[in-house]
Chains A and B, each alone.
Chain A
Amino acid sequence: MKQTIGLLTKYFGDSVAVEPGLRGETFIKLKDESRIREAMELLRDNGFSMLIDLTAVHYPKREHEFELIYNMLAMEPLLRLIVKLPLKGEKPEVESVSSVFKTANWYEREVYDMFGVRFKNHPNLKRILMWENYEGHPLRKEFPLEGDNLHCYD
């Protein structure tokens, strides 16, 4: 794990910050969102061969409203690394990693569907769980839990 972090700091310098997790996980915060594809390629070629999960968290009160979470797995030896990517703005756009990991295709569609984060160069960026004409993004914090229409509470 130290090797990987060393590698990341070597290539990305100050834009990488290591955060210790609550129960022994390693979180890496990548501050430069334009280099996520590069980072994923670097990790994939250095042992982290599987992208286990890709999801997002919405923090409406922060400057960086969204945080993408790339959950990486190295198989030999077993290591888990969680790369966090904070994104600015209400409708952010970020480079797709579906060319690096095929599994990212559906995960990115789900993040787009649920949070409204757009992915550049994605082969098929459509809604996946909700239907096509649906308005709103359900997992955003301002989206209501209940209601018979598709409008959001003010």
Chain B
Amino acid sequence: MTDIKKEIDIKTDRMIVNMGPSHPVTHGTLHIVLELEGETIEASHTNIGYLHRGVEKLGEYRTYQKFIPFTDRLNYTSSINNNVGYTLAVEKLLGIQSPPRAQVLEVIACELGRIADHIVCVGINAVDIGAFTAFLYIFKYRELIYDIFSRMCGARLTTSYTRIGGVSRDLDDETIRMIRDFLTRFPSAIDELEALLTKNRIFYDRTRGIGEFSLENAIQYGYTGPCLRAAGLEWDLRKKMPYLGYENYEFEVPTGTRGDVYDRYLVRVEEMRQSVRILEQAIENIPEGPVIIQDHKIALPQKEDVYNTIEGLVSHMKLVMEGVQAPAGEIYCATEAANGELGFYIVSDGGTKPYRIRVRPPCFPIFSSFDEQVQGHMVADAVSILGSLNIIAGELDR
């Protein structure tokens, strides 16, 4: 037999398509250059850094407390989780723990933040694919969460809720009532969302098998959070390395099987249900007591003490002028943020400012796999993959 030569190989010119830096589906400023062969993506190149503000550099020039507002601007869809992650890291460096009441309040804040983040991710992902209705139905509930946040900390987005050694404000009865109200209404909203999406033929076809990622690849790329769980590994730091007393709450960790866009959607939806479960347990069991540590070398004293006693005045003045004195050393503290493992690596030289502060953003390693993931898919699939990875440019570029 003679070798049959491939005689005709029709190749057209590759088309270059720019997505971003300002594009409706990037949800932030990213730049993706796609090389297309027809409608198939042959190669993709990503450019990031449009939102780089030098957060790590700024942190080296500020005291430990003054870095808290910067953490709001990392993952701005769930800023409260970043606050908690950062203050936990500083508390670990100082070797202290916030009081029990503060820990429960932080759990409540974290889970509300997680729900808000997943609402954004799932809702926006659906919009990008064309399911606008689901987005409108579910987004109303993010508004309720933001109302709760604004009562908890006085701000909707830039929360800065936590302090080193506790939280800034106590929950009042009205806020607790609002959270209870939210918890009774929200599960039916998830059902509604699922009714609109989960068995929706168009949504299923647009997401099933798209962006499939094997578990080995996911681990190689340093995936954490919902994207890793969708690939099939039961990995949740709240279970594996409990912090803030997460070991006392009953909840399950959902996992997927194929690691595609559909699985990521399912994992996020189930995580919202589990967060509701955690919130129900937390809201009924808030212990009494202070919400911030009573050590005036770390936390500000009460206003009455500042005005009426000399000790209060002096410790207030020293804390504001100098800041918290941290021991020399290096620590790494990781928490399960909505997107994955949010870690803070702090190098302290024994002063009141960190020598080096490193933020380990969850979506940075996840986004680095984007080029590999979209190869061989259609242009429209790149949009749904990008949405499912939940890229938040603020935390990607820091």
Contacts and interface: CB of A to CB of B under 8 A. Distances in A.
A22 B220 contact: no
User: By DSSP majority rule, is chain A's interface helix, strand, loop, or mixed?
Assistant: loop
B49 A129 contact: yes
Interface in A33-79: 49-53, 55, 57-58, 69, 71, 75, 78
Interface stretch (A3-11, A85-93, A97-105): A97-105
A145 B61 contact: yes
Interface stretch (B111-119, B156-164, B340-348): B340-348
Given A23-B331, A25-B331, A50-B222, A145 B345 contact: no
A80 interface: yes
Contacts, number: 92
A102 B235 CA distance: 20
A139 interface: yes
Interface string B345-386: 101000000011010100011001100000000000000000
Contacts of A102: 217, 220-221, 368-369
Contact of A130 (B49, B222, B345, B356): B49
A20 to B, nearest CB: 10
B233 to A, nearest CB: 8
Given A22-B329, A106-B368, A129-B49, A138 B57 contact: yes
A33 B61 CA distance: 30
Interface residues of A, number: 35
B327 interface: yes
Interface string B213-235: 00001011110100000000101
A21 B329 contact: yes
B397 interface: yes
Contact of A50 (B48, B61, B93, B219): B219
Contact of A101 (B49, B222, B332, B398): B222
Contacts of A145: 57-58, 61
B220 A103 contact: yes
B92 interface: yes
A130 B241 CA distance: 35
Contact of A53 (B95, B233, B360): B360
Interface residues of B, number: 41
B48 A80 contact: no
A138 B233 CA distance: 37
A117 interface: no
A108 to B, nearest CB: 11
A10 B328 CA distance: 31
Nearest to A140: B57
Contacts of B58: 145
A50 B365 CA distance: 11
Contacts of A128: 48-49
Interface of B: 48-49, 52, 54, 56-58, 61, 92-93, 95, 217, 219-222, 224, 233, 235, 240-241, 327, 329-332, 334, 341, 343, 345, 347, 355-356, 358, 360, 364-365, 368-369, 397-398
Interface of A: 21-23, 25, 27, 49-53, 55, 57-58, 69, 71, 75, 78, 80, 82, 101-103, 105-107, 114, 127-131, 138-139, 143, 145
5 contacts: A50-B219, A58-B356, A102-B369, A103-B220, A145-B61
